[in-house]
């Protein structure tokens, strides 16, 4: 039996670079268990997964999303060319041309506007000039997702209307408050976690930035759960631990998907959806 039946349920997908593959495994297990949310909220890479899932919230849709992740390469998302070199030299305010990620989104998403999803989709970004959370819920989806993924100094800001938008992680990567404002009273958070078992620091600027963002996301999530736990039931799917991969490495997507699907299935079988707790893997720890 699905303990979330007949409840206004929001599915929140946080950011985390290539660790977004972990969410795909979580989605596989949740869908198999019968979980279908009333709305989907995504930030950063979670906006990519959320945008796809919102149009096909079923086993077939998740299987197609797995296939997309299985074919992704770092160069598809982070193509470094001469424009990127200029960014690293300080002659531009970004290092990676967003054309690669835009191409991936345009090829993979089978629709173009928020209004075409099967269940309501909301994408979270940050206003670069004011530093506030911005919820995008209508209009072109690709532009909104690009804005939510625009890691400062890595990708350029995305202008939508009069606002210059950057990565949702900066203001609120796990936007529990947005879900509550939209009427959700049960919230399922899919965090990507962080690399808790690395033996040495990341070796380049982009990898370092992504690793730092994953630490920020985990820290924010723990604080948001504490802040909003009296206003809604907040259920957090445990991320993988130990994790010794890099959020800049897309070559391990299949492995991460399988590990996450397996772990989430066991968590569900042991009553995970009936308990509200912060997974230990989200709190600072060592191995």
173 falls in which pLDDT band (50, 70, 90)? low
> Which DSSP state fits 207?
H
Locate tokens 């309501």: which residue?
120
What pLDDT sits at residue 1?
A: 41
Q: Residue 275: in which H helix or E strand, if any?
A: none
**pLDDT beyond 70 at 172:** no
Two structure tokens written together for 151 = 């890691």
The predicted pLDDT at position 168 comes to: 87
Residue 86 — pLDDT band, cuts 50, 70, 90?
A: very low
3 pLDDT higher than 80: no
Q: How far apart are CA 220 and CA 15, in angstroms?
A: 11
- Cα separation, 234 vs 231, whole angstroms: 9
Q: How far apart are CA 123 and CA 143, in angstroms?
A: 10
Distance CA 25, CA 27 (A): 5
* C-beta atoms surrounding 119 within 10 Å: 15
pLDDT in tens, 214-236: 998 899 899 999 999 999 999 99
The pLDDT, as a whole number, for residue 89 is: 46
pLDDT for the residue numbered 95: 79
Percent of the chain with pLDDT strictly greater than 70: 91
How many angstroms separate the CA atoms of 126 and 157, rounded? 10
DSSP-based three-state secondary structure for 163? strand
Nearest to 217 by CA among 179, 169, 185, 263: 169
Q: How confident is the model at residue 7 (pLDDT cuts 50, 70, 90)?
A: low
pLDDT tens for residues 181-208?
Answer: 999 999 999 999 999 999 999 988 889 9
pLDDT band, very low/low/confident/very high, at 78 (cuts 50, 70, 90): confident
**pTM score, whole prediction:** 0.93
- Check residue 206 and give its pLDDT: 86
Give me the half-sphere count of Cα atoms (radius 13 Å) on the Cβ side of residue 52. Answer: 26
**pLDDT, position 27:** 98
SS3 208: helix
Name the phi and psi angles at 37, rounded to 5. -75, 165
Average of per-residue pLDDT across 49-77? 96
């Amino acid at each position: 039996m699905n303990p979330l039946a007949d409840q206004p349920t929001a599915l929140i997908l946080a950011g985390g670079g290539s660790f977004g593959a972990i969410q795909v495994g979580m989605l596989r297990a949740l869908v198999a268990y019968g979980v279908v949310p009333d709305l989907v909220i995504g930030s950063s890479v979670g906006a990519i997964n959320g945008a796809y899932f919102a149009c096909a919230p079923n086993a077939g849709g998740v299987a197609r999303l797995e296939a997309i992740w299985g074919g992704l390469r770092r160069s598809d998302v982070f193509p470094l060319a001469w424009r990127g070199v200029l960014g690293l030299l300080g002659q531009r305010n970004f290092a990676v041309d967003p054309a690669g990620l835009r191409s991936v989104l345009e090829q993979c998403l089978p629709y173009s506007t928020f209004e075409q999803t099967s269940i309501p989709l909301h994408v979270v970004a940050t206003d670069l000039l004011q530093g506030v959370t911005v919820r995008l819920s209508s209009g072109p989806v690709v532009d909104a997702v690009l804005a939510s993924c625009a890691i400062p100094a890595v990708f350029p800001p995305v202008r939508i209307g009069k606002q210059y938008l950057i990565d949702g992680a900066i203001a609120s990567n796990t936007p529990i408050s947005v879900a509550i404002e939209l009427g959700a009273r049960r919230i399922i958070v899919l965090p990507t976690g962080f690399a808790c078992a690395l033996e040495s620091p990341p070796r380049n600027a982009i990898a370092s930035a992504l690793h730092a963002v994953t630490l920020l996301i985990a820290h924010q999530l723990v604080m948001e759960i504490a802040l909003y736990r009296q206003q809604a039931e907040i259920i957090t799917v445990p991320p993988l631990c130990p994790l010794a991969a890099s959020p800049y490495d897309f070559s391990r997507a299949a492995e991460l998907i399988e590990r996450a699907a397996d772990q989430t299935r066991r968590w569900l079988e042991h009553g995970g959806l009936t308990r509200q707790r912060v997974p230990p893997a989200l709190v600072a720890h060592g191995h």
